[in-house]
Amino acid sequence: MQTATGQRHHAARSFSTLIEMLRQSADLYGDYPAFLFRNHPGDKEQTRSYRAFLSDVDAVGTALLALPLQQRRMAILGDNGYGWALAFHAVINGAGVVVPLDKQLPDLEVVRLVERGRVDVLFFGRQQRSVARTVLERCPQVQYAICLHEADGSAPGHLPDADTGAAASSPRAALTLNDLIRQGRQRLAEGDRAYTGAELDTHALASLLYTSGTTAQPKGVMLSHENLCSNIQSISGILPIRPGEKLLSILPMHHTFENTAGLNYLLYCGGCICFNDGLRYFMKNMQEWQIEVMIAVPLLFENVYRKMRENLAASGKDLLVRVLRPPARVLCYGGIDLRRRLFGRILAAMGGHLRLVVVGAASIDPEITRTFNDFGIDFFLGYGLTEASPGISCCHQNNHVIGSVGPPLPEIEVAIDTDSDQPGAVGEILTRSRSVMLGYEDNPEETAAILTPDGWLRTGDMGYLDKTGSLHITGRIKSMIVLTNGKKAFPEEIEALLLQIGGVASAMVWGDEPAPDTVDICALLQINRDLLPEELTGQPEDAIGSWLSEKIKAVNHAMPVYKSIRWFLYTDGDMVLTTTMKIRRQPQLDQIRRWLNENNLTMRQASGRLMLS
C-alpha cells in the first residue's frame, strides 16, 4: 500500500469546537463583515459583523435549548442565506444535532429523511413553506417549525421595537428566527447561561448529513466537532484567506463542501460570505462586490470559460491572448508575475479581484485550469467526501500538478490500495485523519464495510499518487466497467474526453450487457444546440447524430481499443443531477432503459438517435 501525508505551509489556530472557533473569530475580527446579502435582488445590501453574528447565535441557541424537546435534532431546509448560517451555528454549537437537508428534494423524500433523522425541529425557508406543511402533517414528532425569514422575506437579526413573537413553549408552534432572537436575548439578560456556558463533547454526533445517493439510497453521515474543526485546520495549512476577503456563496450550504470550505472556513479566516442573488446575477454580484474567493463545481467555471472564449473571439483578441499566455507563464516561474496586468481586462469581467478558485465534486478540463492560472487566478482542483468532512486533498501554490487533485491536506493521510511501490500504480483511494466520520447512522454493516479497524476510510474511488505526491482520480469503483476480457474501464476518464467535443454539455458512460458474456461501452451525450457548429443549424437530427458519431470515433482513437465507445445516444433534455451537478448514474440509466423499452429498441438499434425526454 502506498501512503502520503499532507504537509502544512501555514500555521493554524487551536480550537476543538465550532463555537470556540467562532468566539475566537469574534474577538479577532469583531466589526469586520461576516455576511453580506440582500433579502431580494435589487434590495439594499445588508451586512452582519462577526460580533453581531455571535450575538445572534447565542440568542437563538439559548432559546432553542429552552425548548422542551426529546431528540434535540433540528433539520434545516432552505436557500443559502444569513438565516441558514445562523440556524446551523445556533444548533450545532450547543442546542442539538443539526440535520442539513437538500431543498431540492421531493416533499416525500424530505418527510422520509425527517423521520429517519428523528427530527423534532424544522427550520424552513420562505420558498419551502409548502414542504414544511407536509412535514407537519405527516411527522407528528416534529414539535416546532421555524421560518428562516420574516413574513416579508427579510433576514433575521434586525428586530422591530414591538415584541410580537409567538410563545416558544407552544408545541408545534410556527416561529421565526427573530422570535427566537428576542426570547434568547431576554433569557440571556435574565442570566440564563445554559447555552453559552455549556461544554460540548467534541467526539459526539454534531451534524447528520445525508449523502446525495448518486448510485444508492442516501446514508446518514455522522460528523463530530472534532471532524469538522480538524478539517478546517487542515484547509488553513495550504489555502490562506485574508481577513475581509469576500467569497461568493453559490453552492448549497447543506452540502459539506460549501458548508466546511465556504461557510465555516471563511468564518475561521475572518472573510466575508456574500450570498449570491441567484445564478442569473452571478456576474453582477462578482463585479459589484469585487469577489476574491470562490468555491465551485466545474460546471460553473466551464460556463464562465466558454463565455470568455466567445467574447475574446468576438473582439478579435483571442490570438493575442494565446500568444501572451506562454511568456507570461515563464516570467511567473522566474518570479516576475505580470499576469494580472496583462490580462486585467479579462479579469475585470469577473470583478477584477478574483484571486482564488477551488473546484471540487467532479473533474474539469485541464485546459480550463491552465487558462485561469495563466490569467493570474489560483485555480485549484480539490477532492473530498462527505464522510471525510469533506476535504482530503487539494492543489495549492506549493504543489500544483494540473490534472491532479493535489497532495493530501495537512495532517491527512492518503493511501492507494496496491501491491506496487511505483508512482502511478492504480488502486482504491483510502484516507485516514481526525476528519473521518463517526460512521453511518443506524447502519453498522455499511460502516464496517467502509471503515477499516485501523481507521482507514475506503473512498470507493480509484486513483494513483504521482512522483510529486499528488493524487489523481481515475473513477468510481461502483461505476467501473469490467469487460469480458477482464480489462477495466472507468466511465469518468471517457466522459472527460467526450466533454471536449464542442456542444457537448454533459456525458454519461456505462456498460451495456445485451447478451451473456458481452459488455458494450455506451454513452449518453447531452448537447447544447447553441454551441454546435453553425453548419448543423437547421439540419435534421440524423445529421447531428452523424456528426457526433465522427467525433466519438476521434475520441475512440485517443484511447486503448478496449475502452472504445460502441453505441451512443444524445439528448437536449436535462440529465438527472444532484445539487452539486453530478449525474445520478442509476436514475439516469433507468431513464435510458425506460426510453429504450418504450420504443422497443436495443442500444445497438438506437445508436446515434436523439433520446427524447
Query: What's the confidence (pLDDT) of residue 225?
Result: 98
Domain boundary, last residue among 443, 459, 476:
476
Indicate whether 236 belongs to any domain.
Answer: no
Indicate whether 210 belongs to any domain.
Answer: no
Indicate whether 2 belongs to any domain.
Answer: no
Query: What's the confidence (pLDDT) of residue 153?
Result: 63
Residues 313 and 436 in one domain: yes
Residues 275 and 298 in one domain: no
Q: Distance between CA 310 and CA 341 in Å, rounded? A: 21
Contact in structure between 50 and 97 (CB atoms under 8 Å) = no
**Region for residue 36 given its phi and psi (left: phi exceeds 0; alpha: psi -120 to 50; beta: otherwise):** beta
Domain boundary, last residue among 441, 476, 511:
476
Q: Which domain holds residue 92?
A: 18-199+246-288
Of 523, 519, 522, 524, which is closest to residue 487 (Cα–Cα)? 519
- Using the 8-state DSSP alphabet, how is residue 280 labeled? G
DSSP string, 71-105: S-EEEEES-SSHHHHHHHHHIIIII-EEEE--TTS
Residue 415 C-alpha cell reads as 493511501
Q: Distance between CA 323 and CA 338 in Å, rounded? A: 14
Q: How far is CA 474 from the centre of its chain?
A: 19
Query: What's the confidence (pLDDT) of residue 168?
Result: 46
Query: The domain that contains 352 carries what CATH number?
Result: 3.40.50.12780
562 burial (CB, 10 Å; 0-12 / 13-18 / 19+) is middle
Residue written as cell 432572537? 181
Residues 459 and 574 in one domain: no
Residues 443 and 528 in one domain: no
Residues 551 and 582 in one domain: yes
Residues 56 and 170 in one domain: yes
Residues 450 and 592 in one domain: no
- Condensed to tens digits (0 to 9), the pLDDT of residues 486-504 reads 788 889 889 989 999 999 9
Query: What's the confidence (pLDDT) of residue 165?
Result: 44
Q: SS3 for 414?
A: strand
DSSP strand E in 513-552: where? 520-527
Residues 313 and 445 in one domain: yes
Indicate whether 7 belongs to any domain.
Answer: no
Indicate whether 383 belongs to any domain.
Answer: yes
Contact in structure between 228 and 203 (CB atoms under 8 Å) = no
What domain count does the chain have? Answer: 3
- Condensed to tens digits (0 to 9), the pLDDT of residues 369-408 reads 999 999 999 999 999 999 999 999 999 999 999 999 999 9
Indicate whether 592 belongs to any domain.
Answer: yes
Q: SS3 for 136?
A: helix
Residues 309 and 454 in one domain: yes
Residues 469 and 568 in one domain: no
β-strands 246-249, 272-275 pairing: parallel
Residues 487 and 469 in one domain: no
β-strands 33-37, 46-49 pairing: antiparallel
Residues 465 and 511 in one domain: no
Q: Distance between CA 120 and CA 395 in Å, rounded? A: 41
Contact in structure between 65 and 94 (CB atoms under 8 Å) = yes
DSSP strand E in 260-390: where? 272-275, 293-296, 356-359, 378-384
Query: The domain that contains 540 carries what CATH number?
Result: 3.30.300.30
Q: Which residues of the chain have pLDDT under 70?
A: 151-153, 157-173, 212-216
Indicate whether 511 belongs to any domain.
Answer: yes
